[in-house]
């Protein structure tokens, strides 16, 4: 009779254990994918869930008047030249606003200080709506936040009327401080800086690129009202003006030039109208951008209109 030798029990248990370990590893990998915001599609490939990128857009006609009632189909959006699908669209978004109002108190604007502070007080009353908060900053050789962000209009107006004259203009420091302060504010709110200045940068510790990166990184709109006390460009310090134009183009704000201080209230009104008639568009970038990269956005709108929007953002660094 033929004899058969039975296998020892140990290898069977080893084989079963190896199978169980393999299954556990597969389940663990699936859980890791889910926790990272990734999910397999029907064909078994992995789709990465990226953060939604929000773009605020202000659309104006040839006369600078806000254009309202546009639909999602009126906009075309791309990133680095690749068309993107608009996943979120809010016409005239009602998201609350955090606003940093910055007034240049340098000696170059001293003779017009009372007019500027009264105009700022008027703007505060006009722009702060329920749910909004405003912080007031003074720009001179140093930059000072005069009080906490608040919706207390009388208190904010009183702070504006007590801005004291200084001896320099720390323009880049002002943008860095306001941007970083706004970045720490609660999420889900709009952020904007409105700056009244002669743009004569003289005393900043920060450099231009520090200011540019801080503004872009905070998702802040930058609006400037530049008071040209000297009409001849050859006699002005124009470096600050050019810097503001560059940063505003990236963040989605705008510059307003005042040749006469009597125009200040009108410029404040225009900024207020833009802030109240913004479109909010959101998209998930495809392909997924690499971490820690500088991304460029292109937004167009049908019609003979001018559109201001955030043209750059930075992706989060790799964890």
Q: Could you tell me the residue ranges of all domains in the chain?
A: 9-40, 50-92+279-314, 97-276
Q: What is the structure's pLDDT at 198?
A: 86
Percent of the chain topping pLDDT 90? 64
In whole numbers, what is the pLDDT of the chain averaged over residues?
84
Q: Assess if CATH 3.40.630.30 describes domain 97-276.
A: no
Cis-peptide, bond into residue 287, ω within 30° of zero: yes
pLDDT value at 4 more than 60: no
Give the residues across from 284 on adjacent strands. none
Nearest to 268 by CA among 111, 174, 127, 135: 127
Classify burial at 299, counting beta carbons within 10 Å of its beta carbon; exposed 0-12, middle 13-18, buried 19 or more.
Answer: buried
CA distance 315 to 122: 38
Q: What is the structure's pLDDT at 260?
A: 79
Q: What is the structure's pLDDT at 231?
A: 57
For residue 293, which phi and psi values (nearest 5 degrees)?
-110, 160
Q: What is the structure's pLDDT at 44?
A: 46
Other CB atoms within a 10 A radius of the CB of residue 153 amount to: 15
CA distance 80 to 86: 15
pLDDT value at 168 more than 70: yes
- State pLDDT tens for residues 96-147: 999 999 999 885 555 677 778 888 999 999 999 999 999 999 999 999 999 9
**pLDDT interval class at 265 (50, 70, 90):** confident
Of residues 93 and 31, the one with the higher pLDDT is 93
**pLDDT interval class at 64 (50, 70, 90):** confident
The CA distances from residue 82 to 180, 284, 291, 307, in Å, are: 30, 12, 18, 19
- State pLDDT tens for residues 181-237: 999 999 999 999 999 998 989 999 999 999 999 999 999 999 999 987 655 555 456
Q: Which DSSP string do the residues of 201-256 spell out, in sequence order?
A: --S-SS-HHHHHHHHHHHT-EEEEEEE-SS--GGGS--HHHHHHHHHHHHHT-EEE
- State pLDDT tens for residues 273-286: 999 999 999 999 99
- State pLDDT tens for residues 19-50: 444 444 444 444 443 344 444 444 444 444 56
CA 262 from chain centre, in angstroms, equals 30
């Amino acid at each position: 009779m033929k004899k058969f030798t039975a296998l020892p029990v140990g290898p069977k248990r080893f084989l079963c254990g190896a199978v169980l370990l393999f299954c556990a590893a597969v389940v663990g990998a699936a859980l890791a994918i889910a926790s990272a915001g990734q999910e397999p599609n029907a064909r078994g490939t992995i789709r990465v869930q990226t953060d939604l990128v929000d773009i605020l857009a202000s659309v104006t006609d040839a006369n600078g008047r806000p254009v309202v009632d546009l639909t999602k189909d009126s906009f075309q959006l791309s990133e680095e030249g690749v068309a993107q699908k608009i996943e979120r669209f809010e016409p005239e978004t009602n998201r609350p606003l955090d606003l940093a109002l910055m007034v240049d108190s340098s000696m170059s604007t001293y003779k017009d200080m009372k007019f500027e502070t009264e105009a700022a007080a008027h703007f505060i009353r006009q722009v702060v709506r329920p749910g909004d908060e405003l912080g007031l900053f003074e720009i001179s050789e140093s930059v000072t936040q005069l009080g906490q962000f608040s919706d207390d209009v009388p208190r904010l107006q009183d702070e504006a009327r007590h801005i004291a004259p200084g001896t320099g203009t720390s323009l880049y420091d002002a943008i860095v401080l306001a941007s970083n302060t706004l970045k720490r504010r609660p999420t889900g709110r709009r952020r904007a800086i409105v700056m009244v200045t002669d743009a004569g940068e003289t005393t900043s510790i920060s450099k231009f690129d520090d200011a540019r990166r801080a503004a872009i990184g905070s998702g802040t709109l930058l609006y400037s009202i530049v008071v040209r006390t000297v009409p001849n460009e050859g006699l002005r310090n124009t470096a600050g003006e050019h810097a503001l134009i560059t940063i505003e183009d990236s963040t989605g704000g705008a510059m307003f030039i005042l040749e006469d201080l009597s125009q200040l209230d009108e410029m404040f009104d225009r900024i207020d109208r833009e802030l109240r008639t913004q479109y909010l568009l959101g998209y998930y970038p495809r392909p997924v951008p690499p971490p820690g990269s500088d991304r460029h956005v292109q937004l167009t709108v049908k019609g003979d209109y001018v559109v201001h929007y955030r043209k750059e953002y930075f992706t989060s660094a790799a964890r």
